[in-house]
Structure 1
Amino acid sequence: MNEINKWFDENSSDVWKIAEFIFENPELSLEEKKSSRCLANFMEDQGFSIEWKVAGLETAFVATWGTGKPVLGFLAEYDALPGLGQKPVDRRSEIEGCGHGCGHSVLGVGAAAAAVALKKELELSGKSGTIKLFGCPAEEIMYGKIIMTEQGCFDDLDAAITWHPSDVNRVGEDIYQAMDCKKFRFFGVTSHASGSPHLGRSALDAAELMNVGVNYLREHVTDDVRIHYTYLDAGVKPNIVPDFAQTSYYIRGNSRKHVDDASQRIERIAQGAALMTDTRYESELVSNCKETKLNFTLLDTFYEAMTEVPVPKYTEEEIQFAKSISEAANLDNEGKYFDGLQKYERRAKDIYISTDVSNVSHKVPTVTLNAATACKGTPLHHWAFTAQTGSTIGFKSMIYVAKCMALGGLKLINNPEILAKAIDEHLNI
């Protein structure tokens, strides 16, 4: 652990610069050319070999160092969200374009720093092991790690390690939801909407009737099911009957069984809407993911690591920043902006969001940590989360959790029986 701390003492300022670069150059899913290149260059400078375009994804890479067992993989993400461009200030100050409203500007960098710090520890100790950093694009559209898992990118890992920005510090006892991402397209016939409406067949009418039907469905699914949608195409001019309409749906649930049931029923609603409007429909399954498979052996080990790393201490200026942003964003935290390390309950908890990390967790033992890159009550996918992620609050938490991940990885290397237990748990659940 001394070498891990020493590495961070000597390199934290450089790590922060990388996170700042990615924050200031946000890129959407599958477009992360600058972000992925920045991270890969850093890993190459630190002695890792780089393989590009893994799983056929242009902005995916694997950085590898070492030989032999165990093989530990750190998972990095770096895609931004549309419409969340925001300066790192304590008020809403939007920048046109995308932004890191989920904290991926620090997520990937923190994972990279953890991998490099652990590599330094192994170099000096002479212990064997292979460390990999997976540059994983397109998490926000539930795509990158799903394709990488299908292509066998994680097959040789003994364990996968990652984290996600949050408003709390903890090990992730959360079971993220399974999800289908679907597009529904309706095809009709154009006509003059006033002069000859009887000759038109409105694809937009079909899309709207489908959405009405889905809204009635919400009463008749289990409480965990979440269904949300947006219109991608809805016609051009009011006086032209739209011959094409398209929606995007996310269908979530606590298990694949619940998602599959809701998804099939939504398909039948779409079919009914097409019949009612004399149009044609088609659907596309863009991506889907499973619910998370927890590994309590890894959770035990990484919680122990988190107890050994001091949580960040904030300056008076940073506390004032959290106070100002809480007031500007109307955050519900009653003036208590940060906690220490949240108590580990060793109990699975359902969480109503999804991640493509879940598919990795079904392939190899996987652990996720959370760190407070924003003050309590800050929602993900919000300008206030973007702002804090790009501030020193976000940077401090990134360094904290990177140390925790590196130390947890070291515990697995130093105690082979822990990793063997984790693998056995994974195979027998």
Structure 2
Amino acid sequence: MSSEDAVREVAARARAASHELATATRATKDAALHAMAEALLAAAPQVLAANAEDVGRAEEAGTPANIVDRLRLDDSRLAAMAQGLRDVAGLPDPVGEVLRGSTLANGLELRQVRVPFGVVGVIYEARPNVTADAAGICVKAGNAVLLRGSSSARSSNAAVVAALRGALPGSGLLEDVVQLVPGETRDSVTALMRARGLVDVLIPRGGAGLIRSVVEGSTVPVIETGVGNCHVYVDATADLEQALAIVLNSKTQRTSVCNAAESLLVHEDVADEFLPLVVEALQAAGVLVHGDEAFAEYDDVVPVTDEDHAAEFLALEISAAVVKDVEGAIEHIRRWSSGHTEAIVARDQATIRRFVAAVDSAAVMVNASTRFTDGGELGFGAEIGISTQKLHARGPMGLPEMTSSKYVVVGDGHVR
């Protein structure tokens, strides 16, 4: 069987399963999510053994440490995946929510209600936790899900999906609502991108190259996630002790994620006081600073380039520059940001309002770390990705973003 035929076969099974899932009660879906969580923990030996195979192959191939970190699972990460499924079960069911409603002048009753997409395909890199997160969110939102992870995580993903599928029949759902897309070559990805009519929406989650290839090559509608060149701007009115903590947390708490800060901007009025503090603290944490002329006065700071300003390092590196004022920070962000998350550290409310209004990113943090751009941290439960586009889904994509809507119009013999 060709890759295209194999992919279309699982997509057809997903389509059939999605019809039943679309009308499942919240109780049934929540029971399934809890069963999936328990099954995942019960399969911990198999999942961790499979993950060790993936990590071993990655290390033998010389994969960068930050990518290996994304790939690696342990007991705590597996427990977090299971808890993410439980958290989603505890969230309100978006399906059937009335978005707006009214009685028209002619007496027709109008309602716009949330409904599932149907079949969602997720194409993602490295991180096997996405397998459980995506499955849980899609099932709760009433969607069947087709999961196409990277070949680097093939053993981990297969083990996770096997555990999740095994839990479904006993909870009243068809196991085909969660499926791994067959194949490890580019052909299977291409087939998924061309399964229009069987797959309703595709979500790419990964690096810029993956996202671009899916957006440009797919005939299936795409919800675009984005890379994270996130900025922290330290204003002249900032509490510098607070600013230092926010910069360090944004950059170093976990470097291999899209909401880690990659760029630092400092108001010139506090540069003399703040730069020696922040450079010392970043370097003590192992961060290589790519700095402009003001930063370059300090030891071991390397000259910053345009490529650095645009980079999503996903590593212990950061670009850094001094700006004249908040307008200079806004101008810099408009030029270099990927539209993911920007943070301002300031006490002046007029400056904060200006920054929030002028910065056009999916999330803006005020006196808080960029690391809070996360579905779990914002109370959405596990997320399926961070969208930087400007359609219905922007920022952390939780349950509501995994639905569409339809209009229900009720009359009493009305004719036009």
Q: Same fold (TM over 0.5)?
A: no
Scaled by the length of structure 2, the TM-score of the pair is 0.26
Alignment TM-score, normalising by the size of structure 1 = 0.26
Higher relative contact order structure (alpha carbons within 8 Å, sequence separation ≥ 6): 1
